[in-house]
Amino acid sequence: MAEIALHALTGVVLAGGQGRRMGGIDKGLVDFAGAPLVTHAVGCLRPHVSEVLINANRHLERYAQLSDRVVADRMLEDGQESYQGPLMGIYSGLCAATTEWVVFVPCDSPALPKDLVPRMVAGLAQKTMDGDKVDIAYAFDGERMHPVVAIVRRELRHDLRRALEQGDRKILRWYEQHAWCQVDMSDCPAAFANLNTEEERLALEAAVTGGQP
């Protein structure tokens, strides 16, 4: 497989959750180091993709100011409600994208490396040099898997729809049904810290800013 051209990618920030562990707030709009949390994820993607989408289910007008397009969770034929988890966000992003490959990041990991996308693309290309087809690549920090930091081939949206209609909401279980690989990010595990509590937000903000307000 030829290496993916960076600007032949669509970037999607997953911000469609309910933020239950932070009291139900819209995490993507929480302030972090002087800017909405989601903007850090957008900034990670922006230099390397043709378009940045935000998957969100509330405050759509606000998110529209921070991205090229906003994509809400798609409603399946059985009339299921929004807030169906990140796998639904991935499906919605795949449906909205216009490129062959789509790169996903969560809205609540503001320390992601600036070269994340080139590294993910290079990792995927390395795994396919022997001719094997790979449809999904996701980050591995040496200890933990990060399935919401991933590159997914857009053509998988049809299969993912079927999985969602059958009630599947486990990302890794769906990945394992396809040709996947991990991308080694073991040199920067701290970059994948995600924020689920106010305490975590304050601690990571202090670490990122050096304690400066």
- Given this model, what pLDDT does residue 52 score? 98
Pick the range with the lowest mean pLDDT from 50-59, 66-75, 82-91, 118-127: 82-91
pLDDT at 131 over 70: no
pLDDT at 200 over 50: yes
CA atoms 145, 60, 96, 177: torsion sign = positive
Write down the residue that tokens 């007008």 correspond to: 61
- Given this model, what pLDDT does residue 1 score? 46
158-172 pLDDT, tens digit each: 999 999 989 888 999
- Given this model, what pLDDT does residue 23 score? 55
pLDDT at 50 over 60: yes
- Given this model, what pLDDT does residue 64 score? 96
**Of 94 and 207, more confident:** 94
Pick the range with the lowest mean pLDDT from 75-84, 118-127, 146-155: 75-84
What's the mean pLDDT when you consider all of the chain?
88
- Give long-range contacts, CB 8 A cutoff, 24+ apart: 55-58: 55/12, 55/13, 55/14, 55/15, 55/16, 55/89, 55/92, 55/93, 56/15, 56/16, 56/26, 56/28, 57/16, 57/82, 57/83, 58/26
- Given this model, what pLDDT does residue 137 score? 96
4-28 pLDDT, tens digit each: 776 689 999 999 875 555 556 899 9
pTM above the 0.85 mark?
A: yes
- What mean pLDDT comes out for the span 112-138? 89
